């Protein structure tokens, strides 16, 4: 693995290696080397709290030197292309780039770069480190993926998290189901769409997705009603009470409280939402360490 671009590019062995290494870092069983002579640049062309912050902490824990880069003060504002920006950073000494961009598969135009790229999210395409931290959280809870019944609820069409998790969970042997308004379904993903109320008492994991207003057509936004969505597709108190005792609740965040999930359930006993955030930092340490070791 020279880059981390999408979950479809990872083998099951690579997935398990990365989440195992992240768990070992978290539990003090593996001490990554310090990369105090190497440089990283974080290029976030979309807003981010969890992904950007956890990458920053992971990088500093690994001893990497950070190249100061902000899109608002860079030559991007003068019309510089993504390729030219990245090539410039390569030439001034960056050893790895972490990139989030609104363009799907932006990394295709960066194939000729000679430094690794870690995809921090591309449009409505893929979000591999989010998927990996979700898998780490699931593995901590269940120790396996085979046969788990997983319900992913919400904005499937616009969610890179749904797409990444669908591919990885299916490859690892889980049973993935979707629940979504008709206009937010993605028929390119071959998973059954179900009524949340018909399966909520049978699932091992209910994974809620943020409603992504910024990616919707105007007509879709006009049709969206918060109370209606929460009633038909959200995790209400009534649905939470129907969960099996061992079932867990997940959400990639940021959370629209009272929309995807009742506000009182974000830190409920079966919620793992904040554990996901903690695991994200360890997982991103593991990814950077793995890639830089491969790079030599």
The predicted model scores a pTM of 0.93
Confidence of residue 295 (pLDDT cuts 50, 70, 90): confident
Could you state, in order of their start, the residue ranges of all structural domains in the chain? 7-126+277-295, 128-272
pLDDT in tens, 188-211: 899 999 999 999 999 999 999 988
188 is in an annotated binding site: no
254 is in an annotated binding site: yes
160 is in an annotated binding site: yes
The answer to whether 7-126+277-295 and 128-272 have equal CATH topology is yes
167 is in an annotated binding site: no
State the average pLDDT for the chain: 93
Q: Where are the alpha helices (DSSP H) in the chain?
A: 12-26, 50-61, 82-91, 128-142, 160-171, 196-199, 218-223, 226-233, 237-242, 273-295
Q: Which pLDDT does position 72 carry in this prediction?
A: 82
Correct CATH for 128-272 of 1.10.287.70, 3.40.50.1370, 3.60.20.10, 1.10.3720.10: 3.40.50.1370
78 is in an annotated binding site: yes
Give the mean pLDDT of 105-132: 95
At the second CATH level, the architecture of 7-126+277-295 is 3-Layer(aba) Sandwich (3.40)
Q: How far apart are CA 271 and CA 206, in angstroms?
A: 10
pLDDT in tens, 269-286: 999 999 999 999 999 999
216 is in an annotated binding site: no
What are the angstrom distances between the C-alpha of 37 and each of 95, 115, 282, 288? Answer: 10, 15, 21, 14
On the question of pLDDT at 83 being above 60, the answer is yes
38 is in an annotated binding site: no
């Amino acid at each position: 693995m020279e880059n981390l671009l999408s979950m479809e590019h990872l083998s099951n062995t690579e997935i398990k290696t990365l989440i195992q290494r992240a768990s070992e870092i978290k539990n003090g069983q593996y001490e990554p080397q310090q990369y105090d002579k190497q440089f990283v640049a974080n290029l976030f062309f979309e807003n981010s709290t969890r992904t950007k912050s956890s990458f920053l902490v992971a990088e500093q824990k690994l001893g990497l030197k950070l190249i100061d880069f902000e899109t608002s003060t860079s030559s991007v504002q003068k019309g510089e292309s993504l390729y030219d920006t990245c090539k410039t950073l390569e030439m001034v000494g960056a050893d790895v780039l972490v990139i989030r961009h609104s363009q799907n598969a932006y990394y295709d135009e960066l194939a000729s770069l000679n430094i690794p790229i870690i995809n921090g999210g591309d449009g409505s395409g893929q979000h591999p480190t989010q998927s990996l931290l979700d898998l780490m959280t699931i593995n901590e809870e269940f120790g396996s993926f085979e046969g788990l019944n997983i319900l992913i609820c919400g904005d499937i069409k616009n969610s890179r998290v749904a797409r990444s998790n669908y591919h990885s969970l299916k490859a690892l042997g889980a049973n993935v189901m979707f629940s979504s308004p008709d206009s937010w379904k993605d028929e390119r993903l071959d998973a059954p769409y179900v009524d949340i109320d018909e399966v909520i008492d049978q699932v091992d994991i209910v994974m809620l997705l943020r409603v992504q207003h910024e990616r919707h057509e105007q007509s879709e936004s006009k049709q969206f009603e918060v109370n209606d969505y929460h009633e038909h597709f959200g995790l209400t108190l009534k649905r939470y009470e129907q969960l099996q005792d061992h079932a867990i609740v997940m959400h990639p965040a940021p959370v629209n409280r009272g929309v995807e999930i009742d506000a009182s359930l974000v830190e409920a006993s079966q919620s793992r939402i904040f554990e996901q955030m903690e695991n994200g930092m360890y997982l991103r340490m593991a990814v950077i360490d793995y890639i830089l070791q491969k790079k030599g």
